[in-house]
Amino acid sequence: MARSLPARFAFLVFGALVSAPVAAGLVPSQVNIGDCVADQVSIPYASERKPFDEQYCRRWNATDVAAVAVCLHNSSLNDTPFFTDRCGDGTEFFLAVNGVEHVLQRVGPKWLDVNLSGRFAGDGLELEVLPLRQWVESSGDAPADDEEVESGSWSVQVTLRQGSESRTF
Summarize pLDDT for 102-141 with one digit per residue, the tens. 999 999 999 988 889 999 999 999 999 999 988 766 655 5
Summarize pLDDT for 19-46 with one digit per residue, the tens. 333 445 798 988 888 778 788 999 888 8
Averaged over 1-30, what is the pLDDT? 49
DSSP 49: G
Report the relative pairing of strands 93-97 and 165-168 from DSSP bridges: unpaired
* Number of separate helices (H) and strands (E) present in the chain: 3, 8
Summarize pLDDT for 54-106 with one digit per residue, the tens. 888 888 888 899 999 998 888 888 888 899 998 888 889 999 999 899 999 99
Global confidence as pTM? 0.75
Spatial contact of 92 and 103, defined as CB atoms under 8 Å apart: yes
Determine the pLDDT at residue 73.
87
